[in-house]
Chains A and B, each alone.
Chain A
Amino acid sequence: MTMAAATPGDATGRAGVPVLEMRNITKRFPGVVANNKVNFDVRAGEVHTLFGENGAGKSTLMRVVYGLYHPDEGEIRLNGQRVSISSPSSAIHHGIGMIHQHFMLVDTLTVAENVALGTRSTRGPLTGLDTVAARIVELSERYGLKVDPQALIWQLSVGERQRVEIIKALYRDVELLILDEPTAVLTPTEVGDLFTVLRQMASDGRGLVFISHKVHEVLDLSDRITVLRNGHIVGTLARAEATRERLVEMMVGHQVAAEEHPPRGVVGAPRLVVKDLHVMSDRATDAVRGVSFEVSSGELVGIAGVAGNGQRELAEAIAGLRPPVRGSIRLNDREMAGHGPAAIRSAGLGYVPEERMRDGVVGDFSVAENLLLVDYGSSAYSQLGFLRRGAIRRHCQELVADFNVKTPNLETPARSLSGGNIQKLIMARELSAQPQVLLVAQPTRGIDVSASLYIHQRLVAQRDSGTATIIISEDLDEVMTISDRILVMYEGTIIGSADPRTATREEIGMLMAGVRPSAGQPAAAAPPTSAANPPSTAQPPAPQPPAAPPGGGA
């Protein structure tokens, strides 16, 4: 590439030299200042973490560096030179690489083609893929990133795709690499492998920016940590100065007591009994293959797993949004498999969907209208088809107050609330129906710490009131903190269960990666008795990537 400066490899002598300096960067969007006079720098050879809650301005700041946004004020220097980065191609030209939250890979192309895309070919207008492939093999050997250059992206597992993203950056020989929450879809083991490679890249003399909101990962990887809150820099700490408590306090703005595991509740009769459930995905593959479990009154069960292992389809099948292929779903001793959402709701299910903006609220409807989406027909709120506005208003005011939903008023459209408040609004609606079974998918994804704590408390309180409660979450910490029992999903089956009071992160992480503790072998080698379970990671031709492709499918 065009960087004039030393190429990584002979650059270890440059360690400590600032690669990137950002001074007084301000970026405004209509109604918000996303970055307010932010100073940030990255030195050669270090991993500098940007830490903060969703919406704190971390991604915005790095999108400025990558040329996706143009700052309203401030200056950017690369290797001491003041630069203007007008587009991703100018960022690439300057030796900057970025790994985005969602993979930026073309599913139908090969690894080599994805790596070559946008680079200058050694053979003029021709792709020269054999030279590209040779270079990929070289890089993958040097960094321990095993990947086949000829494989098509859709055949790869999520972990392998992440490796392709890293190879793309290495191939371009970036001097500065930005990683925007790169661990979201990885198992704990894969995260460990990723961090090893990142450390190696830093020791080559590259500068790395790691964007994250997961404290333990930040403490594992970083040399320095800068905390952002509401678009401002709160402070920068060296790794040695940073502790979990201090970082969280800086992120949130006040002290946060560590979340304690709640005591067990009083467990009663089984409320939800799922037996040998099979569900298809949108791409007509078997997403859920023979899942059986039961949840009793007064119990909070957490379903853990890496994204794309059938959790979404399982949730939608239980909620009646996706008809199961076969199997049984019994709710309060009534068979509900194949029934629609209305019947399932009236049988006693409350459901908080994963995509809360898409499936949980009607964005343009007001807070009050969203609270009433389920109950509008009940005689308390309507008579002969006319809405009883007074009763509705009182009911909604109670709910908003009870669930601490921060909204200017009841007429505010739901889409203008923050993620945390939208989630509280949905919880208020679902819990007001006093469900006997409550299913919450990704209860706190993208939600700030205070709202998350509050939502956890409400879930535990609901359990204590006798509701059989299920959370499906990709956040292992969350599942371990509030569940009474953990079920781990892997490739459409429940590969194992664990007691969060005794199990370690590593043990559950192994299950999430498909490794059963007893055998110490991938689950695929010893298929569970409940279902045929072809090992899709071990068989590239199996047309079933574990995750939906980026950018949606056909």
Chain B
Amino acid sequence: MNQFFTVDVLTTTIASGIALATPFLLAALGETIGQRSGVINLGVDGIMLLGAFSTYYVELQTGNLLLAILAGTATGTLMGVITAFVSVTLKAEQGISGIGVYLFGLGFSSLLFQKLVGTPLPISTLPPVGIPGLDSIPLIGGMFFNQSLLVYLAFLLVPVATFVLNRTTYGLKIKAVGENPAAADSLGVSVALIRWSTVLIGCTFAGLAGAALLMYGGIFQINLTQSEGFIAVALVYFGAWRPVGVMFGSLLYGLVGVVILTWKSLGIIPLSASDLAATAPAVITVLALLFLARRFRQPAVLGRPYEREG
């Protein structure tokens, strides 16, 4: 136990906890925006898998990291077109269509991986970039300000999303469409257009989350996400549909995950209990969810397609 409480280990743990939280944060932020408009997307995990694979494959082929990450992100957008068409235009039951998207993403990314790659090779990942001036602060610099650009981007998106939701006319429309689409419709706000846009944003973020997850590990494997996209959906509830809440949820999840990994490697957790310990982040998140999320109300029409009354 004493080995754990050294400055070096603590710094590394928190730094990599933040890095591990990043894919969750990106996926959950995107899901938050979609859910605020009333659309629940359970396909996040599948989209993350496809985003991660696209990133991986383009990186293998071109060696261009930026192009690879853009490919992963664009894959998310493309899946967003499918998701929005099914959930918004065809008004499908969102719980079921989301599972369909997930299974498609899982199966198709596995198939592509086996056909196109076969033997997993590691790729280069985004290097950490120190923020001049801040990264040299003792303790804090190492924890927060020596991360990859994707990590900074993800955390920067938190205030951006908050600002968009609370201060812009677009955010006002998103919230209105998620709470009372008939009222929004009666004021000339296109419910379908707003929901299409939020689903596209959400799925784009999910694609980017897949890229971020790949960057964390540096290698693709079948079912890389291990259903972590579903955790991202739970984190939206945990964060009470607010970007800042979602950020804290992601950090909690990431940190607990890394602490478990560190304790395992340090032998604090015996090998026999390691599988059990691996479930700890999920269990802790769900418990926190039970105690916290009840106090907040979800968007009034979450998961319900909008039909103008005749």
Q: Per-residue CB proximity of B5-22 to A under 8 Å, as 1/0? A: 000000000000000000
With A107-B300, A550-B182 in contact, do A127 and B190 touch (Cβ < 8 Å)? no
Q: Does B135 contact A (CB under 8 A)?
A: no
Q: Does B4 contact A (CB under 8 A)?
A: no
Query: In the bound complex, what is the Cα–Cα distance between A117 and B179 (angstroms)?
Result: 13
With A107-B180, A108-B175 in contact, do A118 and B300 touch (Cβ < 8 Å)? no
Nearest A residue to B170 by beta-carbon distance?
Answer: A125
Nearest A residue to B185 by beta-carbon distance?
Answer: A88
Q: Is the CB of A104 within 8 A of B169?
A: no
Query: In the bound complex, what is the Cα–Cα distance between A443 and B173 (angstroms)?
Result: 39
Q: Does B297 contact A (CB under 8 A)?
A: yes
Interface residues of A in 515-552 (CB under 8 A from B): 549-552
Smallest Cβ distance from B165 to chain A, in angstroms? Answer: 11
Q: A93-B188, A118-B188, A551-B179 are in contact. List 15 more A-B contacts (CB 8 A).
A: A89-B188, A103-B183, A106-B180, A106-B183, A107-B300, A108-B175, A109-B172, A118-B187, A118-B189, A126-B169, A127-B168, A550-B182, A550-B183, A551-B300, A554-B298
| B185 CB contacts on chain A under 8 angstroms | 88
| B308 CB contacts on chain A under 8 angstroms | 68
Smallest Cβ distance from A161 to chain B, in angstroms? Answer: 11
Q: Is the CB of A105 within 8 A of B169?
A: no
| A108 CB contacts on chain B under 8 angstroms | 175, 179, 297, 300
Q: Is the CB of B188 within 8 A of A87?
A: yes
With A109-B176, A109-B179, A117-B172 in contact, do A551 and B301 touch (Cβ < 8 Å)? yes
Q: Per-residue CB proximity of B182-216 to A under 8 Å, as 1/0? A: 11111111100000000000000000000000000
Interface residues of A in 48-92 (CB under 8 A from B): 68, 87-92
Q: Does A408 contact B (CB under 8 A)?
A: no
Q: Per-residue CB proximity of A105-117 to B under 8 Å, as 1/0? A: 1111100011011
Q: Name the residue in A87, A92, A108, A550 with the highest tally of chain B Cβ atoms < 10 Å from its Cβ.
A: A108
Interface of A: prevailing SS: loop
| B298 CB contacts on chain A under 8 angstroms | 554
Smallest Cβ distance from A140 to chain B, in angstroms? Answer: 19
Query: In the bound complex, what is the Cα–Cα distance between A114 and B187 (angstroms)?
Result: 10
Nearest A residue to B188 by beta-carbon distance?
Answer: A89
Smallest Cβ distance from B141 to chain A, in angstroms? Answer: 35
Nearest B residue to A103 by beta-carbon distance?
Answer: B183
Query: In the bound complex, what is the Cα–Cα distance between A105 and B186 (angstroms)?
Result: 10
Nearest B residue to A60 by beta-carbon distance?
Answer: B310
With A87-B188, A89-B190, A117-B176 in contact, do A104 and B170 touch (Cβ < 8 Å)? no
Q: Does A553 contact B (CB under 8 A)?
A: yes
Q: Is the CB of A116 within 8 A of B182?
A: no
Smallest Cβ distance from B108 to chain A, in angstroms? Answer: 36
Query: In the bound complex, what is the Cα–Cα distance between A91 and B310 (angstroms)?
Result: 18
Q: Is the CB of A104 within 8 A of B300?
A: no
Q: Is the CB of B300 within 8 A of A127?
A: no
Smallest Cβ distance from B213 to chain A, in angstroms? Answer: 32
Q: Is the CB of B188 within 8 A of A126?
A: no
Q: Does B167 contact A (CB under 8 A)?
A: yes
Q: Is the CB of A113 within 8 A of B179?
A: no
Q: Is the CB of B179 within 8 A of A125?
A: no
Smallest Cβ distance from B292 to chain A, in angstroms? Answer: 17
Q: Is the CB of B169 within 8 A of A92?
A: no
Other-chain residue from A103, A109, A552 in contact with B175 (beta carbon distance below 8 A): A109
Q: Is the CB of A127 within 8 A of B172?
A: yes
Query: In the bound complex, what is the Cα–Cα distance between A467 and B187 (angstroms)?
Result: 49
Q: Per-residue CB proximity of A154-172 to B under 8 Å, as 1/0? A: 0000000000000010000
Q: Per-residue CB proximity of B74-99 to A under 8 Å, as 1/0? A: 00000000000000000000000000
Smallest Cβ distance from A509 to chain B, in angstroms? Answer: 29
Query: Could you list 28 A-B pairs, sorted by A, with CB under 8 Å?
Result: A29-B310, A68-B308, A87-B188, A88-B187, A89-B189, A92-B188, A98-B186, A104-B180, A104-B186, A106-B176, A106-B180, A109-B172, A109-B175, A113-B172, A117-B183, A117-B184, A117-B187, A118-B188, A118-B189, A125-B168, A126-B167, A127-B169, A549-B300, A550-B180, A550-B182, A551-B183, A551-B300, A553-B300
Q: Is the CB of B167 within 8 A of A127?
A: yes
| B310 CB contacts on chain A under 8 angstroms | 29
Count of residues in A whose CB is under 8 Å from the partner chain: 35
Query: In the bound complex, what is the Cα–Cα distance between A249 and B170 (angstroms)?
Result: 51
| A89 CB contacts on chain B under 8 angstroms | 188-190
Nearest B residue to A108 by beta-carbon distance?
Answer: B179
Q: Per-residue CB proximity of B294-307 to A under 8 Å, as 1/0? A: 00011011000000
Q: Name the residue in A88, A103, A553 with the highest tally of chain B Cβ atoms < 10 Å from its Cβ.
A: A88
Query: In the bound complex, what is the Cα–Cα distance between A58 and B167 (angstroms)?
Result: 39
Q: Does A246 contact B (CB under 8 A)?
A: no
Query: In the bound complex, what is the Cα–Cα distance between A219 and B188 (angstroms)?
Result: 33
Q: Is the CB of A551 within 8 A of B187?
A: no
Smallest Cβ distance from B305 to chain A, in angstroms? Answer: 14
| B186 CB contacts on chain A under 8 angstroms | 88, 98, 100, 104
Q: Is the CB of B167 within 8 A of A106?
A: no
4 tightest Cβ-Cβ pairs between the two chains A and B: A89-B188, A118-B187, A104-B183, A104-B186
Smallest Cβ distance from B307 to chain A, in angstroms? Answer: 12
Nearest B residue to A551 by beta-carbon distance?
Answer: B180
Q: Is the CB of B182 within 8 A of A117?
A: no
Query: In the bound complex, what is the Cα–Cα distance between A105 and B171 (angstroms)?
Result: 16
Nearest A residue to B298 by beta-carbon distance?
Answer: A554
Q: Per-residue CB proximity of B56-67 to A under 8 Å, as 1/0? A: 000000000000
Query: In the bound complex, what is the Cα–Cα distance between A121 and B184 (angstroms)?
Result: 16
Other-chain residue from B180, B189, B190 in contact with A105 (beta carbon distance below 8 A): B180
Smallest Cβ distance from B82 to chain A, in angstroms? Answer: 26
| A118 CB contacts on chain B under 8 angstroms | 173, 184, 187-189
Interface residues of B in 138-187 (CB under 8 A from A): 167-173, 175-176, 179-180, 182-187
Nearest B residue to A128 by beta-carbon distance?
Answer: B169
Query: In the bound complex, what is the Cα–Cα distance between A107 and B183 (angstroms)?
Result: 10
| A553 CB contacts on chain B under 8 angstroms | 300
| B301 CB contacts on chain A under 8 angstroms | 551
Nearest A residue to B177 by beta-carbon distance?
Answer: A106
Query: In the bound complex, what is the Cα–Cα distance between A127 and B166 (angstroms)?
Result: 9
Q: Is the CB of B182 within 8 A of A104?
A: yes
Query: In the bound complex, what is the Cα–Cα distance between A275 and B175 (angstroms)?
Result: 44
Smallest Cβ distance from A166 to chain B, in angstroms? Answer: 14
Query: In the bound complex, what is the Cα–Cα distance between A267 and B96 (angstroms)?
Result: 60
Query: In the bound complex, what is the Cα–Cα distance between A549 and B168 (angstroms)?
Result: 25
Query: In the bound complex, what is the Cα–Cα distance between A89 and B194 (angstroms)?
Result: 14
Q: Is the CB of B172 within 8 A of A92?
A: no
